[in-house]
């Protein structure tokens, strides 16, 4: 089957950008050949594939006409949304935070669910592999809440657990020693706000970045609290953290249960808490997969390869997952 679609000048320019990179990415997500000459897109393949590809092209054209930048990530978002029978525009137009040239919005269906969950629930758990935007989106929502004065401060915390290296080998005082563990949170903050503003907020304790141990004994009111790398908490630490919740506060807990750095005989608090709080009202669990990875495409393939390897090594986990 052969079908031709006529596009606006803006949409044609967006699809022809970066050489043929956008068209090749589009071909990678649809099962037919795609050609662009001038304002005319030609699709060739079997009937079903051409129909599906035509829908994707129309959605991309609509987004381009509305001023969206079209890239390989946009194509993944559009095809993923269509597969889930959701509107791509409803996902990509949900701008969580905007700062100068930075615009933060969900790029996958699960990211949209995650953003909506954080808005609508007091406690949200984001569980999934690296690169799925768990921490980045949470920090963006925290910055937005602070700018709207919905909270008085942002608290970012992580367990200071070694991943192959020892804290004691690092120079400096305690804060200098834990700095490498907190650095990803600082990086996300600097993507959202000007460095001078971050420094000022840190000095005034409007933004607090601290290891999890510093949370003990506190009650956190009027705060947006993010616990990152939560797979490295013990069940006791997770309970301690969750019970710090105060009035008018929101908590987001993120982690990847496939990257636990605790001793082998120690359970992860992130795994245990899913069994304990799964049915509690106003607490939600969003589980990401390899399809939600929005870093370099190779990261998604790495995650999938490791998942497949883990299943081959432990077939009993495969049957448990299906159950």
Task: Give the integer Cα–Cα distance in Å for 180 and 233.
Answer: 17
Q: pLDDT tens digits, residue range 231-270? A: 999 999 999 999 999 999 999 999 999 889 888 888 999 9
Distance CA 123, CA 226 (A): 10
Distance CA 8, CA 166 (A): 58
Could you report the per-residue pLDDT of 149-180, keeping only the tens digit for each? 999 999 999 887 644 444 455 455 545 555 66
pLDDT digits (tens, 9 = 90+) for 203-238: 999 999 888 988 999 999 999 999 999 999 999 999
CB 245 within 8 A of CB 271: no
Could you tell me which of 157, 183, 158 has the C-alpha nearest to residue 170? 183
What are the structural domains, with CATH classification, of the chain? 2-92 (3.30.1370.10), 97-292 (3.40.50.300)
pLDDT for position 64: 82
Q: pTM for the whole thing?
A: 0.74
Half-sphere exposure of 27 (CA within 13 A, CB side): 15
């Amino acid at each position: 089957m052969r079908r031709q679609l006529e596009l606006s000048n803006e949409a044609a320019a967006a699809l022809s950008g970066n050489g043929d990179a956008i068209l090749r990415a589009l071909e990678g997500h649809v099962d037919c050949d795609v050609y662009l000459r001038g304002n005319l897109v030609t699709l060739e393949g079997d009937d079903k594939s051409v129909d599906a590809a035509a829908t994707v092209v129309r959605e991309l054209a609509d987004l381009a006409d509305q001023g969206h930048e079209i890239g390989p990530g946009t194509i993944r978002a559009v095809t993923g949304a269509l597969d889930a029978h959701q509107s791509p525009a409803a996902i990509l137009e949900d701008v969580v935070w905007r700062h100068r040239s930075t615009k933060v919005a969900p790029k996958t269906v699960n990211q949209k669910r995650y953003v909506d969950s954080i808005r609508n629930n007091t406690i949200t758990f984001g569980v999934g592999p690296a690169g799925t935007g768990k921490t980045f989106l949470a920090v963006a929502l925290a910055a937005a809440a602070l700018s709207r004065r919905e909270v008085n401060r942002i608290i970012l915390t992580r367990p200071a657990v070694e991943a192959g290296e020892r804290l004691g080998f690092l120079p400096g005082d305690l804060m200098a020693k834990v700095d490498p563990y907190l650095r990803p949170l600082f990086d996300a903050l600097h993507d959202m706000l000007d460095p001078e503003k971050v420094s000022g907020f840190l000095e005034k304790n409007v933004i607090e970045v601290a290891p999890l141990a510093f949370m003990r004994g506190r009650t956190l009111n009027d705060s947006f609290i993010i616990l990152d790398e939560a797979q490295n908490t013990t069940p006791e630490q997770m309970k301690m953290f969750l019970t710090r919740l105060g009035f008018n506060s929101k908590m987001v807990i993120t982690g990847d249960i496939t990257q636990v750095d605790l001793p082998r005989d120690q359970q992860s608090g992130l795994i245990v808490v899913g069994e304990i709080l799964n049915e509690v009202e106003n607490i939600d669990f969003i589980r990401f997969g390899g399809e939600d990875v929005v870093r370099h495409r190779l990261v998604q393939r790495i995650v999938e390869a490791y998942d497949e390897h883990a299943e081959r090594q432990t077939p009993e986990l495969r049957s448990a997952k299906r159950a």
